[in-house]
Amino acid sequence: MDSIVVTGGKALHGQIAIAGAKNAALALMPATLLSEDPLTLTNAPRLSDIKTMTALLQSLGVEVTSMQNGKVQVLSSHAMTSTTADYEIVRKMRASNLVLGPLLARHHQAVVSLPGGCAIGARPMDIHVTALEAMGAQIDLRDGYLHAKAPGGLKGAKVPLRFASVGATENVLMAATLAKGTTVIENAAREPEIVDLAHCLRRMGAQIEGEGTSTIIVQGVDRLGAATHPVVTDRIELGTYMLAPVFCGGEVECLGGRMDLVAAFAEKLDAAGVDVTETDKGLKVKLRGDRPRAVDVVTEPFPGFPTDLQAQMMAMLCLADGTSVLEEKIFENRFMHAPELVRMGARIDVHGGHATVHGVETLKGAPVMATDLRASVSLILAGLAAEGETVVNRVYHLDRGYEHVEDKLGAVGAQIERVSGT
């Protein structure tokens, strides 16, 4: 099993190209199930989660062609052979459940295993099920699988979500494109990935309005067609690399970065004493003083502070001048990186959904264990600042969400390498 080895204290200077968004691509890829015509995605990220979604779609009979070293994906569902998403693939990744809505919409049936993914909370499927049932689906849970059917097809309906779930919004949005009549999604998620999916579906011929707001209205159409769509910039990878020079000094320009994708995050960085400047190529980041200042953080649905940047922000606040409080309001069990940061000399107290971080002047390199995707990269960032060598073990999580992190950080001056396990 691979490890990432980081030797701290090297200032970073240069540019880091930000990839297409993992969470956007994982919703865009199942959209191919809505049409027999090809869907071409450009600016696609090259990640293990994309490979998992590819395997899942191929198991349904979707043809997937990868071009330009994986940055372009051409998907075609003209000759599907199955509507069953098997446990052996679905268990690897939560986003696999996004085939449910499209399969029901076009084929009026689906058998989808309950999904897996990082151990950061239950993230129940009941929101998805209740929403699709409101559109006329009949769904039963048997032997760990959701058995769904929609005799005669889905029907437009008012669909209020009890929580602004990104996945449920995506599932219903895709399902509604081929439903008979008008669907109104209330309390819809507002994330950029939702907006990106709506733009792609519109290119395919869908009639959608209101994406980016809490109410999305979809007028069903008879069929969707071919489209080419560029995947939006990954705001989580962007935020992660924006933090890198804060740990060890220097200045980094994140190519492709957009302030509208990370506004709440950038606001917290400014309060912490970090300059974020828009350029014609992206966002440039530099710490104003010697240490960041303590700030309090509450994770919220977009446009609030993203839960997927909470672990990275905690690592930065370990070095801040003062005491910070982080409140995690999206997922339970998402402070599992805290004990690993403590191994590096951080002072963190966790009580339920709150973590109190008492800033220290230095961290010490240590062997640490990655518990999930974002925890992995938070430990790597901490290693950039730590005295000595930090070995981050179990980094298979990392490859689910970051392209070649050692190459990108190494290119701007970090002393970092991947060591293959025996």
Active site residues: 118
Structure tokens at 20: 């297409």
CA distances from 355 to 283, 313, 333, 401 (A): 29, 12, 12, 24
- Is 69 annotated for ligand binding? no
- Is 46 annotated for ligand binding? no
What's the burial of 351, exposed, middle or buried (CB within 10 Å: 0-12/13-18/19+)? exposed
- Is 223 annotated for ligand binding? no
Token pair 């290693």 is found at 383
- Residue 17, strand partner residues: 255
Q: What angle do CA 6, 21, 174 make, to 5 degrees?
A: 150
Comparing C-alpha atoms, which of 416, 408, 419 is closest to residue 16? 408
Q: What angle do CA 49, 135, 57 make, to 5 degrees?
A: 25
Whether residue 303 has a cis bond before it, omega within 30° of 0: yes
Q: Strands of 323-327's sheet, edge to edge? A: 297-298, 323-327, 354-358, 347-351
C-alpha to C-alpha distance for 164 and 213, rounded to whole angstroms = 11
8 A C-beta contact, residue 71 and residue 44: yes
Comparing C-alpha atoms, which of 413, 416, 371, 372 is closest to residue 390? 416
Q: Concatenated DSSP letters for 213-249?
A: SSEEEEE--S----EEEEPPB-HHHHHHHHHHHHHH-
- Is 308 annotated for ligand binding? yes
C-alpha to C-alpha distance for 5 and 244, rounded to whole angstroms = 16
Q: Concatenated DSSP letters for 4-25?
A: EEEE----EEEEEEPPBPHHHH
Comparing C-alpha atoms, which of 167, 93, 92 is closest to residue 131? 167
Please enumerate in sequence order all residues whose Cβ is within 8 A of that of 105, keeping only pairs 6 or more positions apart, or say none. 34, 150, 153, 154, 174, 175, 176, 177, 178, 179
C-alpha R_g of the chain: 21
C-alpha to C-alpha distance for 33 and 101, rounded to whole angstroms = 9
- Is 330 annotated for ligand binding? yes
Residue set of the binding site for phosphoenolpyruvate: 22-23
Residue set of the binding site: 22-23, 94, 308, 330
Residue set of the binding site for UDP-N-acetyl-alpha-D-glucosamine: 94, 308, 330
